[in-house]
Structure 1
């Protein structure tokens, strides 16, 4: 009959473990001799050096083949989004509401527009974008002839916005019932707007609700055009001084002084009926004045 295996004490187990860590009889550490530890250490050193070299080579080849001025793959929309200032966005709605007798109310609108058009100051534009661009023509550039290996960008002057420039009226009409709104298209690298006639895309605003409360509105620049000379956009690195062309609209509100307005950019290749993106090609906002 087999005898029961004797239960080992804690001291014996510790002694066995110590013997495993260092066996003085055959000179092994954790079951391996010194020469084997040297071989296995060298193996892993060489292994990780080779893996690091392959990883570095892959990153180098990737970065060498990438164009730093434009992404190889763009998942952005092919048609630009349209934004409005004052940028009082609430989820997917834009409500521009102010009280002419409440300074804090209309100053919020004024400061929003001032922040937007600050880079468009005439003096700043003359300094940053001195290139003489040809109006009504695409500004195509195949080389980097600008300063520090960049491409030129066309100046857009604050004064181009006329009555909505803030030069003559620093409140942009928000102390009255004739407020200004600024419309801007988002940038898309390489995008060339085409309205099918060879003319620049233009802004078209329509009063959807409260037409009786709007006696009229005017565009700045004239006819609300986005001049072709601001297209195409080559990217932030290639055109560090680029500024988006703007269109200002000055409304004259009467009676109840409230209206729902849609402003969309009219061009053949600019979509405006995207159910999933209400700001593609157009923007809808509510304009309300109180006194």
Structure 2
């Protein structure tokens, strides 16, 4: 029968640990001589220096090959999203409800539109985007000919929204039954809405529910066209003063003065039937004028 192993006391264990840390008999520190500790330390220093250098070289190579103006890989949708202002959201959708007899209600909508249109100020646009663009043609730019190594942007001024610009009517029609909404298509770098030979993209609004409550629909600019001269968009770094072209739509509400409306950007390159993205190519909102 094998002899039972003697149970060691706490003092003996501490003595063994102290001998492991420093053994005066063979001059070792934690099992290695000082000379070996120097060698192993130099090895790990060299190892991590090499690894860090390889990592920095990989990052430098990656950054050197990236184009700062256009991402190499884009996981965005092929079709741009569409938004509407005033952007007042209900539980699930955009609900533009206002009270014609309550000035505060109408001014709330007007303030949202005024805030949104600040970048489109006529003076600001003509000062920052003073290039004379050719209407009806895509503005293709192969070089950075604008100041500070940028590309030109075509001006889009607030006054181009006509009766919905807020100049003729500061309330944007929210003091009566002729409210204005503004449709904006989101940006996609190098996206062309149509082929060069096709008609330009334009906004078209249809009444999904309450057709009898909408007597008239007007578009500003005329026919709701998004002029090709605002495309393509080259990115924020290349076009720091770029603003999206807008289309304002004015509705004449009658009867119960409420309707459910869909506004879409019409182009064969822009899809709008994506069930998983209700804002791709179109936007649906409820419009109601209360008393």
Provide the TM-score with structure 1 as the length reference: 0.97
Residue 250 of structure 1: how far off its partner (Å)? 0.9
**Distance in 1 separating the partners of 2:287 and 2:251:** 9
Q: Residues 214 and 5 (structure 1 numbering): CA distance in 2 closer, same or farther, change over 3 Å?
A: closer
In 1, Cα distance between equivalents of 2:100 and 2:92: 26
Q: Tell me which residue corresponds to 2:159.
A: 159
Distance 2:126 2:159 in 1: 12
**Who is 1:36 aligned against?**
36
Deviation of 1:28 (Å): 0.5
1:108 Cα shift? Answer: 2.4
Verify: 1:115 aligned to 2:118, yes or no: no
- Give 1:89 shift: 2.4
CA offsets 1:54-103 (integer angstroms, 9 cap, x no match): 00000000000011111111111111111110111235421111112223
* Deviation, structure 1 residue 8: 1.9
Deviation string 1:99-132 (CA, Å, 9 cap, x unpaired) is 1222332222112211211100000001111111
Matches within 5 A, 1:81-96: 81-90=81-90, 92-96=92-96
Residues 1:97 and 2:97 aligned together: yes
RMSD of Structure 2 on Structure 1 (CA): 1.4
Structure 1's consecutive aligned runs of 4 or more residues displaced over 3 angstroms after TM superposition are 1-5
Q: Where does residue 242 of structure 2 map in the other structure?
A: 242
2-structure distance, mates of 1:145, 1:286 = 45
Shift of 1:248: 0.3
Asked if 1:198 is matched to 2:198, the reply is yes
Q: When the two structures are aligned, how many residues end up with a matched partner? A: 291
CA distance in 2, matches of 1:8, 1:232: 81
Aligned partners of 1:201, 1:3: CA distance in 2, in Å? 95
Shift of 1:136: 0.4
Q: Offset at 1:211? A: 1.4
Q: Please, which runs of 5 or more residues in structure 2 have no aligned partner?
A: none
1:157-193 per-position Cα deviation (integer Å, ceiling 9, x unaligned): 1000011101121111111111000001010101001
